[in-house]
Chains A and B, each alone.
Chain A
Amino acid sequence: MIFEKRTERIVLAIFFVIALCLPLFLEDNSFFVGKATTVLILAVFVMSLDFLVGRVGLVTLGHALFYGLGGYLFVILTPEYEAVNFWIYALYILAVSALTALVVGVVVLRTSGIYFIMITLAISQMAYYFFFDSLEFGGNDGLFIFMKPETSIFGLSFLNLDNPSHFYYLALLAVLVTLLAIKIILRSRFGRIVEASRLNPERTEALGYNIFAFRLISYVIGSTLAAYAGLLFALQYGYVNPQFMTWEMSGTALVMSILGGLGTIYGAILGAITYEGLQYLFEHMSEDWMLLMGGAIILMVLLLRKGLAGYLEKLLEK
Chain B
Amino acid sequence: MSTELFFVQLINGIQYGLLLFLIASGLTLVFGVMGILNLAHGSMYMVGAYLVWYFVAVTGSFTASALLSAAIALGLGILIERVLIQRLYNRNHLDQVLLTIGMIFVFNSLQSILWGNDPYGVAVPETLSGSVPFTDNSSYPVYRIFAALVCIGIAAALYFVVSKTRLGMLIRAGESNREMVEALGVNIKSLYTIVFAIGVMLAAVSGIIAAPMRSIVPGMGESVLITCFVVVVIGGMGSIKGAFVGALMVGIISTFAAVLMPTLSNMIIYIFMILVLLVKPQGLFAK
Contact = CB atoms under 8 A, between A and B. Distances in A.
B163 interface: no
Interface in B51-101: 84, 87-88, 91, 93-95, 97-99, 101
B95 A247 contact: no
Given A288-B113, A294-B105, A298-B106, A121 B226 contact: yes
A293 B98 CA distance: 12
Contact of A114 (B98, B104, B237): B237
Contacts of A204: none
Contact of A122 (B109, B230, B237): B230
B274 interface: yes
Contacts of B212: none
Contact of A290 (B105, B271, B273): B105
A233 to B, nearest CB: 21
Interface in B264-279: 266-267, 270-271, 273-274, 277-278
B130 interface: no
A255 B106 CA distance: 15
- Interface size of A as a range: 35 or more
B: contact size bracket: 35 or more
B102 interface: yes
- The main secondary structure of chain A at its interface with chain B is helix
A114 B109 contact: no
B131 interface: no
A258 B226 contact: no
A130 B109 CA distance: 30
Taking chain B's interface residues, is the majority helix, strand, or loop, or is none over half, making it mixed?
Answer: helix
B237 A291 contact: no
Contacts, number: 115
Contacts of A121: 226, 229
Contacts of B226: 121, 125, 247
B94 A254 contact: yes
B104 A107 contact: no
Given A111-B281, A288-B109, A297 B237 contact: no
A259 interface: yes
Interface string B106-123: 111110110000000000
Contacts of B99: 297-298, 301-302
Contacts of B273: 118-119, 122
Given A111-B277, A115-B233, A254-B97, A125 B263 contact: no
Interface string B249-287: 000000000000001001100110110011001110000
A122 B274 contact: yes
B103 interface: yes
A297 B105 contact: yes
A290 B95 contact: no
B37 interface: yes
Contact of B95 (A115, A119, A301): A301
Nearest to B107: A294
Given A294-B106, A298-B103, 6 more contacts: A114-B31, A115-B233, A248-B222, A293-B105, A294-B105, A301-B88
Question: 10 closest Cβ contacts across the A-B interface?
Answer: A294-B105, A297-B102, A294-B106, A291-B109, A129-B266, A290-B109, A298-B102, A122-B270, A118-B233, A126-B270
18 contacts: A114-B237, A115-B233, A115-B237, A115-B281, A121-B229, A122-B230, A122-B233, A123-B270, A132-B266, A254-B98, A288-B109, A290-B108, A291-B105, A291-B106, A293-B105, A295-B106, A298-B106, A305-B91
Interface of A: 53, 59, 107, 110-112, 114-115, 117-119, 121-123, 125-126, 129-130, 132-133, 247-248, 251, 254-255, 258-259, 262, 288, 290-291, 293-298, 301-302, 305
